[in-house]
A = this chain, B = another copy of it.
Amino acid sequence: MNKIPVSETVSYLISRISKAHRNRANELLATLDLHAGQELLLQQIHQQEGITLNELTCGMCVSAVTVTRTVERLEKNGFVKKERCTADQRSVRVYLTEKGKKAVENITEKMWEELEKETVANMTTEERILLKRLMMQVLKNLT
């Protein structure tokens, strides 16, 4: 393999895109009183009310510590409610509050849709499909 400059590698592009993408996500989420990272958690809880912290950890590719603390902050801000599991006293179950449910709806409408529109701007449908396929391969390669 010929040596190519770092700035022309896929890895370098991922680094740059990651920052830009997260910055934009943060801007959009700020209007909902959320920070990038919290939206995935809320959506996961929405898909499975009463999910445990451990299940959240597994399904999110994020450390248990991060889940514990983020849920703690989401609770402080009134988006979720925690509850010790009665069966297994070790586990903690998490539920969305009314505010949390509304937030989830807004996340899709005001963040994901807008973000996606901007991200894949100036691309044909074929290019978008291709990009998704290739990125799925990248994700598989890295996990």
Interface residues of A (CB under 8 A from B): 6, 8-22, 24-25, 40, 43, 61-62, 108, 112, 115-116, 118-123, 127-128, 130-132, 134-139, 141-143
CB atoms of B112 and A141 under 8 A apart = no
A89 CB, nearest partner CB in chain B, Å: 31
C-alpha spacing A52/B62, complex, angstroms: 35
* Pairs A–B under 8 Å by Cβ, sample size 15: A10-B116, A10-B119, A11-B112, A11-B115, A12-B112, A13-B132, A13-B136, A14-B21, A16-B61, A18-B18, A120-B138, A130-B130, A131-B131, A131-B134, A131-B138
Residues from chain B with a CB closer than 8 A to the CB of A18 are: 14, 17-18, 21-22
Residues from chain B with a CB closer than 8 A to the CB of A123 are: 134, 137
A-B complex: 10 closest residue pairs judged by Cβ atoms: A18-B18, A20-B142, A13-B135, A131-B134, A9-B116, A11-B115, A121-B141, A11-B116, A14-B21, A6-B112
Residues from chain B with a CB closer than 8 A to the CB of A22 are: 18
A134 CB, nearest partner CB in chain B, Å: 5
A48 CB, nearest partner CB in chain B, Å: 14
Residue in B10, B15, B120 whose beta carbon sits within 8 Å of that of A128 in the complex: B10
CB atoms of B134 and A119 under 8 A apart = no
Of chain B, the residue at the smallest CB distance from A61 is B19
User: Given A6-B43, A131-B131, A137-B122: A142 and B21 within 8 A (CB)?
Assistant: yes
